[in-house]
Amino acid sequence: MLKEFSVQSLFMGVLTAFVGFASSFAVVLHGLQAVGASDAQAASGLTALSISMGVCAIVISLSTRMPVSIAWSTPGAALLASTGAVVGGFPAAVGAFLVCAILIIIAGLFRPLGRAVASIPAPLANAMLAGVLIGLCFAPVKAIAFNPLFGLPIVLAWIVVGAFRRLWAVPAALLAFALVLALGVHVPDGALSSVVQSLVPRMELIRPVFSFPGLVSIALPLFIVTMASQNIPGIAVLKVNDYDPKPGRLFAVTGLFSLLSAPFGGHAVNLAAITAAMCAGQDAHADPARRYWAAVVAGLGYIVLGLLAGVVTAFVALAPPVLIEAVAGLALVGAFSGSAMAAFQRADTREAAAITFLITASGVTFAGISGAFWGLVAGGLMLAMQRFVQMLKK
């Protein structure tokens, strides 16, 4: 294996870890805090997720000799942000994370469940995802309205750098955020000392609470979004690059690592899609058989970054929440546009997709259950009714 290591894979692995962490950690922090996590619990969750996905990437890539890139569920974190706290607070959310992890394991080991998730109409799954993401995508505009001197530099950095190289757009926005925080935001006395104290990683074990609202509002939508938006596309990326993975085993392993991270506040670990293309493409190495080292190096990078999650969280906590929400929203613009386009592309499913999108985006809850679940149910019923009427006409 060491003979197959290369400097090219080393560079791509480091870049993958940086992009994967920097482009979406703000979404994860915001999502965990939205369902009731304290700053310490959110930092614990970020650490647990980073270490879990790092170890998972190393284990799978070395055992399969394929560049299997692992990530946290960014769409899942956005779902948490739109769902908000449920009855039982963060312990109830942790209980839902555990249920979601078990469902992912079952989907990997029990083929009918995996096929059932894959059979959810793509327009409806994408419409639900677009509805989940749109609220956070408004955040950059809200940040400018909150304070143009704070919000504009972040947005302009994203636009200007993204015009030249899209991959560096979100890291540029993060750098602008750090500069705004350092130069423009008043830091209370003693706050920097808390950042220094956070250099020592701290993990918090949260005792889970299992509740029906947590199951339906968080666990089920999180499972569907993670499978439909991360795991299944992750397999597709590997196949496009001429790899032939066994999906069930990969799903089950990611579910196992999700199960390990959940008690510490991590919501879900899954196959990566965007960073998977970085590790599996020619830029990682000319020889496809040697590209797995890029995913291994990325895994090591995630572990290192995870150990620094406390510092990242303490630093971010010094800023007005709308600014970190702006960075998170910019990180999700591409995902929103892609899911919205896929949701409304087909004329025969457009109305059902619109219903799913609107109910999900409304953010309303019925019977303590979030709009993401009801949007998918309403869209599914609409689509079934349309197909039934068409069948009668024939």
Model confidence pLDDT, tens digit, residues 195-248: 556 566 678 899 999 998 889 889 998 998 888 778 877 887 787 678 888 888
Domain total in the chain:
1
Mean pLDDT, range 286-301, rounded to an integer:
90
Model pLDDT, residue 60: 95
| Phi, psi dihedrals of residue 7, rounded to the nearest 5° | -65, -35
Model pLDDT, residue 285: 79
Model pLDDT, residue 118: 64
* Alpha helices, H only, 241-317: 247-261, 274-280, 292-307, 309-316
Strands 369-370 and 365-366: antiparallel
Please give the Cα distance from 183 to 309 (Å, whole number): 23
CB count within 10 Å of CB 3 equals: 6
Residue range(s) defining the domain that contains residue 298: 2-393
- pLDDT band, residue 256 (cuts 50/70/90): very high
